[in-house]
Amino acid sequence: MTTALLVMEERRRSDVYPDEVLRALADLVRWQRPPLTREQLAAEPGVLNEVELLLTGWGAPVLDAGLLRHAPRLRAVLVAAGSVRPLTTPEFWARRIPIVSAASANAIPVAEFTLAQILLALKQFHRISREIKERGRYPDAVRVAGAYGSRVGLLGLGEIGRLVASHLRRFDLDVVATDPVADPAVAAGLGVRLVPLAELFDSCEVVSLHAPLVEQTEGLVDGELLARLRTGATLVNTARGAVVDEPSVIDVLRRRPDLTAVLDVTWPEPPPSGSPLYGLPNVVLTPHLAGAMGAERARMGELVLEEVRRLLAGAPLRHAVDPAVASLRA
């Protein structure tokens, strides 16, 4: 029977790998040991000597040369989380060991959260509700873009961006996107037109960020871009905080109270004490709520379970990360 080991942080382990998933895995593999944390594994790395499948999630061990020396029989790594960038190394990729990511499972709640924020933003929910509180009365006239014929922009058409686009197809909206590596045919199949970055910010009622954090995207969304947004527009960020150049964006938000920024991620995260983000009335802060929370995390463990079944049956893995694109993932 194939030998496996589960290594991840204890705090979220029961959410990601609930009892029913662990029972199903126990029918497929022989557990080398009860689940360990990264720190426990570091103290006893020899436990990996017979391990063929390494299952993990948040708090995964870094797959460096030192760890790999203790894992000569390792056949696959299965990660019940999104990005594998923090744990993969050149030494790992050189071993040609397949690694599975549950990014597609984590994309589901992110896309749902984003869809909700986009629809609220098209009604200018956040702006109007804060103005009512500030003025102590309802506005004399309410003018909003609404969800009919309005333009929504997506910065990034990766896994989450594509899922958001597919959700938006159910509505009478004009959806555009900016992504230098997106396949135009894939975009067209989603009903999305690719446009330059400046046009995205010039023409959209809502711009939602789904770009990975790589060298080319760090600080990409700055004050100059934000200032191009039309009156009453909304920026939604569920990607990575550092994609936004916060100091220059904060300056624009101070000058443009008509704009709204919904920031589920910041840099640093959370914002430091005294950050202007806490006091700006047109900034909505949420503590990384978009990603899988609570019971939603079980989707990722279930994905790993299905991939273990496929691996043991000799079937192709559906969620293995291509090394050529691993560095482009968020």
Write out pLDDT tens, residues 172-217: 999 999 999 999 999 999 999 999 999 999 999 999 999 999 999 9
Report whether 38 contacts 60 (CB < 8 A): yes
How far apart CA 324 and CA 322 sit, in angstroms, is 5
User: Considering the entire predicted model, what is its pTM?
Assistant: 0.92
Count CB atoms within 10 A of the CB of residue 61.
22
Instruction: Put the strands of the sheet holding 76-79 in their side by side order.
Output: 30-31, 3-7, 53-56, 76-79, 99-101
What homologous superfamily does CATH list for 106-285?
NAD(P)-binding Rossmann-like Domain (3.40.50.720)
The average pLDDT across 88-115 equals 97
Spatial distance between the Cα atoms of 253 and 278, rounded to a whole number of angstroms: 12
Q: What is the pLDDT of residues 141-171, one digit of tens each?
A: 888 999 999 999 999 999 999 999 999 999 9
Q: pLDDT-based confidence at 324, cuts 50/70/90?
A: confident
Would you state the pLDDT for residue 130?
Answer: 94
Q: 117-127 pLDDT, tens per residue?
A: 999 999 999 99
Query: What integer pLDDT is reported at residue 82 of this predicted model?
Result: 85
The boundaries of every CATH 3.40.50.720 domain in the chain are: 3-101+294-328, 106-285
Residue 326 has pLDDT above 90, yes or no: no
* Cα three-residue angle 177-179-181, rounded to 5 degrees: 145
Amino acid of residue 64: D
- Give dist(CA 112, CA 108) in Å, integer: 6
Percent pLDDT > 90 in the chain is 95
The mean pLDDT value of the chain amounts to 96
Structure tokens given for 53: 């499948």
Q: For the residues 276-295, what does the mean pLDDT come to? A: 96
- 3-101+294-328: CATH topology is Rossmann fold (3.40.50)
The answer to whether 103 and 125 are in contact (CB under 8 A) is: no
Active site members: 240, 269, 288
The CA distance from 173 to 148, in Å, is 6
Q: What percent of the chain has pLDDT over 70?
A: 98
Q: What is the pLDDT of residues 14-23, one digit of tens each?
A: 999 999 999 9
Q: What's the start-to-end Cα distance of the chain, in Å?
A: 35
Residue 329 has pLDDT above 60, yes or no: no
Residue 51 CA to residue 95 CA, distance in Å, equals 15
Give the pLDDT mean for 128-146.
Answer: 93
Position 158 scores a pLDDT of 93
